[in-house]
Amino acid sequence: MKILTIVGARPQFIKAAAISRSLNSHLEIQEVLVHTGQHYDENMSDVFFQELEIATPNYHLGIGSYTHGAQTGRMLEAIEQVLLQESPDWVLVYGDTNSTLAGAIAAVKLHISVAHVEAGLRSFNRRMPEEINRVLTDHTADLLFAPTAAAVANLNQEGISQQKIHLVGDVMYDAALDYGVKAEQKSSILEHLGLSSQKYLLATIHRAENTDNPARLRAIFMGLTAVTQNIPVVLPLHPRTRAALLREGLLEDVGKSLQLIEPVGYLDMVMLEKNARLIATDSGGVQKEAFFYRVPCITLREETEWVELVELGWNRLVPPLDAPTVANGILDGFVSFSSSEVPDGLYGGGLAASKIVHLLTKDSIWK
């Protein structure tokens, strides 16, 4: 049995690592790993593969950064050639990036079965490219591995056959359990940056809805700058965000207040997350990781796919309308979070990857 895994962005590397470990325990399964090159910065790609102990990709497509249409089109063409050469039984795609959608479309056009990890998430904001990617992929896939009951409900409401849908939990929680201890043992990022546990705010900003909108970009970074009067702010700077700050003439000014650092590896990021007093982000993955390590989170968006975290009180939405809204929302988070107990089995209890591999290998799901 041959499974072709397609990844292209940091969160996908984390998810793929958990499933690859489970796949490797089955001698009858051959995994072919394809890296589209969507994230091509060494600190955003190569270091993650090394730390997560993922095998070197069988194919590195080197697509790089383009507009959404151009990037997806180039990926589609390149992935199709790999599929024609490899003829896998399954194509495994993750999350909601352009790599996800390109892999799903290329496979279905060649009548190759598609499995989607992290299926069913919805922000209900069709202006987000990630929302379009995940919706189209879900309606293309043959197997949908949902991380939460809310994701299953979304798929049911869209009329997708229940036979395709499986509630398995979240493979990122599997990874959090596996790598949390390793980060404590191997990372020295806190010492390197001169940080003390619970004495800083960790921020990450990268989504196009925030970086490509000058008003929102300014609101976020002026808000974060205001927060530094109360607590240091550490921000690993995504290449897209750096380019946006340069474009708007903000990089030098915000760099005087915020502790801007280069993108970090996974273990260093885990340590920064685990030891932050609060996290402010627009990332879906970081929202969950904050919860995994029981750190309160402010999400700088109007909506989130991880609604259960808001309902449980671990996450709070703060739309970046202006700098005072951002600053006040974050500062309020230091004193007013009230989180409830976590339901048993939320996000699968660390068994999502093994469930996914079991379902992929069951005779009953073969076409």
Measure the CA–CA gap between 334 and 306, rounded to whole angstroms.
21
DSSP string covering 39-56: S-SGGGTHHHHHHTTPPP
Q: Pick the closest to residue 265 from 54, 66, 95 (CA basis).
A: 54
Q: In angstroms, what CA-CA distances link 6 with 79, 83, 208, 294, 303?
A: 9, 11, 22, 30, 27
The residues near 348 (Cβ < 8 Å, ≥ 6 apart) are: 147, 168, 169, 170, 173, 174, 355
Q: In angstroms, what CA-CA distances link 296 with 127, 230, 289?
A: 27, 17, 10
Strands in 267-358 per DSSP E: 278-281, 297-299, 315-317
Annotation says 358 is catalytic? no
Q: At what angle do helices 171-186 and 266-275 cross, to 10 degrees?
A: 90
Q: Pick the closest to residue 86 from 31, 14, 134 (CA basis).
A: 31
Contact 340, 313 (CB under 8 A): yes
Measure the CA–CA gap between 322 and 217, rounded to whole angstroms.
9
Measure the CA–CA gap between 296 and 341, rounded to whole angstroms.
13
Count Cβ atoms within 10 A of the Cβ of residue 318 and give its class: 0-12 exposed, 13-18 middle, 19 or more buried: buried
Catalytic one of 39, 166, 206, 238: 206
Active site residues: 206
